[in-house]
Each structure stands twice: as C-alpha cells, then as structure tokens.
Amino acid sequence: MGLPELWFVIVAVLWTGFFFLEGFDFGVGMLARTLGSDEAERAQMLTAIGPVWDADEVWLVTGGIAIFAAFPAWYAALFPAAYLPLLLVIVAIVVRAVAIEYRSKRPGPAWRSRWDTAVAVASLLLAFLFGVFWAGIVHGIPIDASGQFVGRSLLSFINPYSVLGGLTLLAFSLAHGATFLALKTAGSVQRKNEAWATRFDFVAGALMTAFAAWTYWSYSRDDAIALGVGILAVAGMLVALIANLRTRPLLAFWAHGVAIAAFVASMFIALYPNVLPSTLDPEASLTVAGAAASPYSLGVITVVAAIGLPMVIAYQAWSFWVFRKRITVEDAQRSHYA
Amino acid sequence: MGDGLLVDLSRLQFATTTLYHYLFVPLTLGLAPYVALLETLHWRTGKDSYRRLARFFGSLLIINFAMGIVTGIVQEFQFGMNWSVFSRFVGDVFGAPLAMEGLFAFFLESTFLGLWLFGRDRLPRGVHVACIWIFTLGTWLSAYFIIVANSWMQHPVGYAIDPLTGYPVLNDIGAVLFQPFALWAYAHTVLGGLVAASVFVFAVAAYHLKRRQHVGEMRWAWRTAIAMGLIAATGQMIVGDVLGVIVTDVQPMKIAAGEALWETEGPCASLGIVAIIDQEARENTWELSIPCLLSIVATNSVDGVVVGANELQEQYEEQFGPGNYTPNVWIAFYAFRLMMGFGLIGAAWMLVAWWRTRKGRLPEGRVFWAISIWIVFTPWLGNMFGWIFTENARQPWVVYDMLLTRDAVSQISPTFLLISLPVFFLLYGAFAIVEFILLRRYVIKGPPTDDEPMAGQPAPPRPAQVA
C-alpha cells in the first residue's frame, strides 16, 4: 500500500470519526426539540453534548482538509460540482453552531424555543445531506474527460441510491443520539431515550440493510471483503438493536461505531480505485493515484497525521472520560448552557 | 477563462465572507490570553474580583468565538467551491499547513474550550486553568498555520514546478513554515489581535467607570488594557516596519501601490501623506509628501531606491506578456493609511486616558468617556483595512507571480453565485445583528454579582466589593 492508498484510508477514517461522533450530536440536536417536554429537559439534552460537540465537528473539517491536502484534484472536482448542496450544508453548520451556543444567552421561552427549532432543523439537514453527499459520490457524477463537471449541481447528487444513503445516515443519527442520551442522562429524559433508541434502531437497521445490499450489488466488485463489510454494517445495527432492547446503551453505542465504520468502509471499497466516478465515461473517473498529491507532500502530511491523530484521539477520549457522569436536569441548570 | 462576472462575483463573495470572518478573529486572539491570565490570577490569589472579571470577559470571548469558528469553516469549503482551479494548483503545498491547522490547532481549540466551559466542577483547579491556556495556544496555532498558507500565496517558497502539470510541488516544508514573510506576518496578525482586545477591554471598562459601577474590577481592567495596548501597539510599529521592508523586497508592486509611487524614486524617496490618484494616466494629479521618509521606511536607509509601479509594470510585461499587473492604487494607498491610522489611534488615545486617570482619578467630562467607549470600533477598522490592503495590492495575482486571480475561479454557472451571495448576506447580516445585541447586553450587564455562584463553587461568604 502506497501513500495515496494510505490517505484514501485516512480520509475514510476521518469521516468515520465524524459520523460516529457528530452523528450522536445531530441526533441529540433533533431529539432535544422533539423529546424534551420542557425547556429544562432540552437544556439537559444539549448539555450532554455541550462539552464535546464542537470538537466532534472538527472531524468534518479535518476530513475535508484531508481531501484537499492529499487529493487536490478530488477536492477541486468535487466541491464546485456539489456547490448548491454544500451551500445548504454551510448554512446549516453556521445556524446550528450559533444556535446551540446562543440559545442559553438569554432567558425567555420564545428565544430558546426558536433556537431549539433551528438546532433540530439544521441537524436533520446535515445528517441527511452528508449521507446524500457520500452516496452521491459513490454513484458518480457527470464529469467529462477533462475533469470538468457538466451536470446541474443540486440534482446531480440526487438519485434513489443517494437519497437512501441520506435517510440511512439520518436514521442512524437519531438512533445513535437516543442511545447517547440513554447513556449520558438521568431521569425521565433517560427513560424516553431508552424507549426511542430501540425504535430508531429498528428503522436505521432496516435502512442500513437496504443500503448495504444496494452498495454491494450495484456498486462493488464481487469480492469477499465488500460482502464482509456489508454484513458487518448490518450485524452492528442488529447488535445495537438487541442491546437497546435490553437497555444496554453502552454496548449499543459501540455497536453503532462498528456499523458506521463498516458503512463508510463499504462506500470507500465501492469507490476504489476511483475517488470520483464519472457517470458519463468510466475513463473520465478520477482515481486515487491520479488525484493524489506529490510523494513529498503526502510524506509531510503523513508525519503530521502520525503525530496529530493519536494526540487528538487521546485528549478527546480524556475529555469524554472527564464528562462521563450522567447529566441531570439540575446539572444542566448549573452548566454553561443554563 | 476569464468570465468577468463570474470572477467579480467570486471575489466579492470571498472578500466579504473573509472580512466577516475577520470581525471575530482578532478579539479571540487577544481576549483568550487575557481571560486565561485572569483565571490564573484567581487561581493563585483567590481574589474574588479576578473570578468575576474572568467570568465576565469569558462570556464575551465565547459569544465572539462561536461566530469566529463557524465562519472559518465556511472559508474552508469556499476554497473548493469557488476557487477550484486555485485549489488544484496550490493543493500540493497549501494542503500541508491546512492539515497542520486541522490536527494541531482546531482539535485543541474545540476540545479544551469544552473542557474549560463545562469542566469547572469536574477538574482540579490547576488543570482547569491549564485548559484555557491550551485553548489559547490552539487559537494562536490556528492563526499561525493559516498565515503560513497565506504567506505562501504572497511569496511562494519551498517548491518546484512539476514539469508535467505545471503545478508547484512542495519540496521544502521548513521553508514554507519558517520563511521570514510568514513569521513577521504572523507577529503582525497576533499583535493586531492584542491591540483589538486591549481597546475592547478598555472601552468596556470605560462604559462601567463612566457610570461609576463595578469600579474596583473595571479600574483593574482599564489599567491592564492600557498596559497591554501600549505594549502591543509599540510592538506593532516595530513589526510593521520590518514587514514593510520584507514586502518591499518580495512584493515591490504592493509597496509601490500602497505608496502611490508611479515613478522609481531614490535615494531619498518621499512618502505621500495624501494623494489624488489617476489610475488611467498612471500618475498622481496632486500629492502632499514628506521627503526621504519612504526610503527610510521601505529600505531602512535614506539612500534606498524604491521602484515605482510604472517600471514594475514594464518588467512584468517583459516577463509574463502583455497585461495589467498594477493593482488598484487608490484602494491600496488609502487602505494602507487607514490601517495604520485606525490601528494606532486606540493606543494613542490610551496614552491620553492613562494621563487623565492617573492616581485613580475618574474625570467627569462626557466627551472623554464617549471617546473612550466609541473608540472600540477603531481596531476592527484597522484590521479590516490591513487585509484589504494586503490582498488588494497583490492583485492581479492570487499566487504571487504564478497564478492570476481571474484564472483561479471554479468554472461554475454565475447563477450559483447569484444564489449564494444573497444567502451569505442575509445569514451573516442577521447573525451580525444577533451577535452585536448579545455582546452589548453582556457588556452592559457587567460582571456577575455575588448571588450568582459558579457551578461547583460555593458563593463567597459575603459580598467582597473591591471598590
């Protein structure tokens, strides 16, 4: 495996980290508005992600930068092609981050309720759009032999497969978010989320199965690894469902991690050796080797990643450990999000 | 290539969203260490006034930082969305500092901010204080890596041209990270942040001192802001001077434009104070100038020769073929002067304020306090004009002497820009209002009183008014 292949894997790892971590933040963002019976319960749910959601989002930023740094041609072809969907993503990211931070800056139910709605809508959009985005990449977009995108931006990413990808990630985020809250909150919020985690897992598991099957049959080469990864994604969701049925949210949380890693891996395996398939002409597809940066540049960022990633994982894990305690309604009222 | 409308709209969008992002950056850079210092002082001395000040300025820092971080994420997307030819061209070099920013700075900032905000009752006091320092380190590292990337666009180093593609390929990361341009531009940026934060703290203190409220804490804030502001502004003058000499060397056209110098002058080139510029005729119709000063500031010597825009234009045409290689001199000349004026007027006023409030005096004059409060906007204008100067006066290049801005845009339909521009204007405009209202409310509210204990800490036994 050369450096380009290594970076293809690192990009997959970074996006897996993003979906695994920010996935529950998206879920909590949606659930706070819908499951919280009053302002205090919403604050409780948002406080559960308060210390970590911002760092979780950096996995997205780094995932994007990794594409830019390791595969400049991929970044340069993909981002203009996805202009309008990405514009929507940007708006949702800005609104969501500001809303989470500013909701607690003024008392008053109207102010808070409006921001809570903004958090929920933006979280829903993001979870859905990132699924559409990646499944859309796997499906391919109309680029011609010169690498120029020739489609209509918004619609080029919309097809039945990519919509299924979006719905899968959306349902996954809800299941993952409910599981996280079952694990991290106490009182009535905990009980509500224990119940809902099972329901969401049922839906997310079904969608994941459909998506894995479609990926395997329509987009992957017929080999054992692709099949194994598809099965792993389904098995992860199944274990999560059973774990949530038995009220074991910690097991379900990690099973979701396995499932989402397999979900991302299945798409990257389907892509390889391409990074951006052309729907017009297979020859025009952008490949891992063709899009990669120079060996020296890849060497530099490999050293950066070798030093940086273990450090990041270590202190982020430490931060999760610091905030391991369950959050009660009273905790939230004494927190930064009070 | 060169669809005029597409290029103009793309530039307009990037310029406005970058300047908007930069509304939040300087205050974060300067206020983060100030809050960290307050936290440290409270930890070491146990004095309650430090706790209240830390909490007060900490809230203002957070309101500001929230906007800064998301508007920064937007810029990362825009490199690819709107400037894909640029991204493809520079990716091999540009990617490395960006990757360092992501892995060494962004994660640090966001993780330790979370630990600081929510960890007050979960962490030992010393560790908690360390978290705000590490957060500060993250913000400063982030600024460093992005300035490294920008400096490479201003002065490309550490690369070779790939004979097949014609793109620059990184071959010396050390040269990119440590070139003098980057180091001095970084110092310039950070000092600009420290000046902004000093004037901000100063003006906030003025608001409360004028009303004779929170006098004990605010007097401390006032004095420290003046000290920090004067030191930072002095440093800024030195750093600005060094940077000016470097820029004269590597981007002579930028300095020629910034000084509205059409014909080569020197020894003893004169520095224009005011000029009426005729860009078409490539001359100044009128100017007021000081003899010899330009040679001194641009080359550190009275005998220095400073090359004018007309000679440089000829050189460029010889090297790159026919074309216009002269930036808009009117913008460059005045942005340069407004940067210096707005950047330094705050510190100048601090000198006056320090004299008027020496030995604990609090003047009665309304004008004195009005100026001390409204001066808060000047460092922001200074920082804005600084970026307008440095980015405008390197046109028509996006990567200096290598890639023209008009060749760097994504070949997308201008309709996309006509959708995204109003979206950004509406979204950013609305959030600017919300942010301003929130900051104003928190400033007016002042430091917390003693019946608001912080999480995990018992309320102090009795109101310990310092004043």
Q: What is the pLDDT of residues A210-232, one digit of tens each?
A: 999 999 988 887 788 899 999 99
Both tokens of B100, joined, read: 């360092």
Return residues 138-157 of A near B (CB < 8 Å): 148, 153
pLDDT tens digit sequence for B225-238: 999 999 999 999 99
CB proximity list for B433: less than 8 A, separation 6 or greater: none
Peptide bond preceding A72 in cis form (omega within 30 of 0): no
Contacts of B443 in chain A (CB under 8 A): none
Write phi, then psi, for B275 (nearest 5 degrees): -150, 145
CB proximity list for B131: less than 8 A, separation 6 or greater: B112, B115, B116, B119, B123
A111 vs A309, residue with greater confidence = A309
Would you call B66 and A98 a contact, using CB atoms and an 8 Å cutoff? yes
Rounded to an integer, what is the distance from CA A198 to the centroid of its chain? 20
Return the sign of the alpha-carbon dihedral for residues B301, B302, B304, B310.
Answer: positive
Q: pLDDT-based confidence at B57, cuts 50/70/90?
A: very high
Would you call B113 and A54 a contact, using CB atoms and an 8 Å cutoff? yes
Would you call A316 and B107 a contact, using CB atoms and an 8 Å cutoff? yes
**What confidence score (pLDDT) does residue B268 get?**
87
Would you call A87 and B99 a contact, using CB atoms and an 8 Å cutoff? no
Q: pLDDT-based confidence at B415, cuts 50/70/90?
A: confident
Contacts of A322 in chain B (CB under 8 A): 115, 119, 122-123
**What's the rounded Cα separation, in Å, for the pair B421 and B6?**
12
Would you call A51 and B87 a contact, using CB atoms and an 8 Å cutoff? no
Which among B70, B77, B170 has CB closest to A294?
Answer: B170
Peptide bond preceding A273 in cis form (omega within 30 of 0): yes
Contacts of A148 in chain B (CB under 8 A): 411
Both tokens of A274, joined, read: 């391409």
Task: Please state the three-class secondary structure of B300-366 as a single string.
Answer: CCCCCCECCHHHHHHHHHHHHCCCCCCCCHHHHHHHHHHHHHHHHHHHHHHHHHHHHCHHHCCCCCH
pLDDT at A154 over 80: no
Q: pLDDT-based confidence at B457, cuts 50/70/90?
A: very low
State the average pLDDT over residues A300-318: 95
Both tokens of B111, joined, read: 């993780």
Residue type for B174, please?
Answer: G
Average pLDDT, chain B: 90
- Contact in structure between A158 and A146 (CB atoms under 8 Å): no
Would you call A301 and B67 a contact, using CB atoms and an 8 Å cutoff? no
Contacts of A82 in chain B (CB under 8 A): 81
pLDDT at B466 over 80: no
Would you call B79 and A309 a contact, using CB atoms and an 8 Å cutoff? no
pLDDT tens digit sequence for B314-334: 999 999 999 999 999 999 999
What separation, in Å, do the N-terminal and C-terminal C-alpha atoms of chain A show? 50
Both tokens of B361, joined, read: 């005096």
A51 and chain B in contact, CB less than 8 A? yes
Give the chain B residue nearest A334 (alpha carbons): B455
Q: pLDDT-based confidence at B121, cuts 50/70/90?
A: confident
**What confidence score (pLDDT) does residue B465 get?**
41
A242-246, A278-282, B125-129, B452-456: range with lowest mean pLDDT: B452-456
Would you call B113 and A296 a contact, using CB atoms and an 8 Å cutoff? no
Would you call A57 and B115 a contact, using CB atoms and an 8 Å cutoff? no
Would you call B66 and A102 a contact, using CB atoms and an 8 Å cutoff? yes
Which among B106, B114, B431 has CB closest to A52?
Answer: B114
Contacts of A54 in chain B (CB under 8 A): 69, 110, 113-114
Where do we find the tokens 């890849």? A298
Provide the number of CB pairs (under 8 Å) joining chain A to chain B: 215
Contacts of A94 in chain B (CB under 8 A): 70-71, 73-74, 427, 431
What ranges do the domains of chain B cover?
Answer: 21-248+332-445
Both tokens of B219, joined, read: 């007097």
Contacts of A62 in chain B (CB under 8 A): 99, 102-103, 106-107
State the average pLDDT over residues B267-281: 87
**What confidence score (pLDDT) does residue B295 get?**
87
A251 and chain B in contact, CB less than 8 A? no
Contacts of B73 in chain A (CB under 8 A): 57, 60-61, 90, 93-94
Contacts of A275 in chain B (CB under 8 A): none
Q: pLDDT-based confidence at B455, cuts 50/70/90?
A: very low
- Contact in structure between B261 and B308 (CB atoms under 8 Å): yes
Peptide bond preceding A282 in cis form (omega within 30 of 0): no
**What confidence score (pLDDT) does residue A163 get?**
95
Q: Which of A6, A54, A143 would best serve as a mutation to test chain B binding (most B beta carbons within 10 A)? A: A54
A267 and chain B in contact, CB less than 8 A? no
- CA of A159 vs chain B CAs: smallest distance (Å): 21
Would you call B111 and A293 a contact, using CB atoms and an 8 Å cutoff? no
pLDDT at A98 over 80: yes
ipTM: 0.92
Contacts of B115 in chain A (CB under 8 A): 51, 319, 322
A317 and chain B in contact, CB less than 8 A? no
Both tokens of A332, joined, read: 């939230």
pLDDT at B296 over 80: yes
A84 and chain B in contact, CB less than 8 A? yes
Contacts of A80 in chain B (CB under 8 A): 80-82, 84, 410-412
Q: pLDDT-based confidence at B300, cuts 50/70/90?
A: confident
State the average pLDDT over residues A147-174: 85
